[in-house]
């Protein structure tokens, strides 16, 4: 009579966890590719629309190119504004929170297939800080705000917050607050309207968990926008 061999449940569970992890990674990669394709499609439609509505002047009408002189503001705006990059998320944070929150949050969001405006990626020597921040906010669909004690005491972070609130009030952007080492009472004292928004705290969730929740929300919203967009012939 053949003996019954009890299955190794520990090995089976380990293989199941590996399979689940591989499946999750495949889904993240697929979502990233889909979002990149959608972003390219939106940019192509926008660019073709601009081509139909305006004509591009000859190079000889641009003194900075024809005469070899430096760009003035108007010519620079013409050359580069049509090719501005669009972002899913703008990250507003204090520099003191980079290591604990901002960098790992950005990395996790990018691993989920999102395009992120983050100062370390976008700012270059000689850039106008105000102009780059303004364009980053204007070209982002969501604003993630890492609110901490350092955040509320800094000038630039308050400047960014003002811009994000303006776009949110106008219905052009969604704000997603993340609280870091700060109490609700401190947030209320700083901004009652900001404290009223549903937030995630690094006290209760890991940065990776917060990033996954943000990514799921953004991808769901972008999918709805993409579905609702009418198909237009080129």
Mean pLDDT by 10 residues, the chain (234 residues): 66 77 74 69 60 45 37 44 75 95 95 91 75 92 96 94 94 93 95 91 95 91 65 50
Quote the domain boundaries for residue 110.
Answer: 85-229
Flag whether the pTM goes above 0.85: no
Counted domains in the chain? 1
What residues pair up with 179 in beta bridges, in sequence order?
Answer: 147, 201
CATH code where residue 224 lies: 3.40.50.10140
Residues with catalytic function = 160
Would 46 be classed as within a structural domain? no
Q: How many CB atoms lie within 10 A of CB 114?
A: 25
pLDDT tens digit sequence for 114-136: 999 998 877 776 677 788 899 99
Would 92 be classed as within a structural domain? yes
pLDDT tens digit sequence for 124-176: 766 777 888 999 999 999 999 999 999 999 999 999 999 999 999 999 899 99
Would 1 be classed as within a structural domain? no
Would 189 be classed as within a structural domain? yes
Would 119 be classed as within a structural domain? yes
């Amino acid at each position: 009579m053949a003996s019954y061999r009890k299955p190794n449940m520990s090995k089976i569970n380990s293989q199941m966890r590996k399979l689940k992890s591989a499946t999750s990674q495949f889904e993240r990669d697929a979502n990233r590719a889909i979002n990149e394709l959608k972003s390219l499609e939106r940019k192509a439609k926008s660019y073709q629309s601009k081509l139909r509505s305006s004509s591009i002047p000859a190079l000889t009408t641009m003194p900075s190119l024809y005469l070899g002189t430096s760009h003035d503001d108007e010519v620079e705006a013409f050359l580069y504004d049509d090719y501005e990059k669009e972002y899913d998320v703008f990250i507003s944070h204090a520099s003191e929170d980079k290591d604990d929150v901002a960098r790992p949050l950005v990395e996790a969001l990018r691993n989920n297939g999102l395009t992120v405006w983050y100062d370390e990626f976008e700012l270059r020597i000689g850039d106008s800080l105000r102009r780059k921040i303004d364009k980053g906010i204007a070209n982002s669909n969501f604003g993630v705000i890492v609110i901490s004690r350092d955040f509320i005491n800094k000038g630039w972070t308050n400047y960014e917050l003002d811009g994000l609130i303006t776009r949110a009030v106008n219905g052009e952007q969604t704000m997603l607050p993340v609280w870091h080492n700060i109490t609700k009472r401190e947030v209320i004292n700083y901004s009652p309207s900001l404290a009223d928004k549903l937030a995630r705290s690094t006290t209760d969730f890991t940065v990776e968990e917060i990033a996954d929740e943000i990514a799921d929300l953004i991808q769901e919203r972008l999918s709805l926008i993409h579905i609702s967009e009418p198909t237009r012939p080129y």
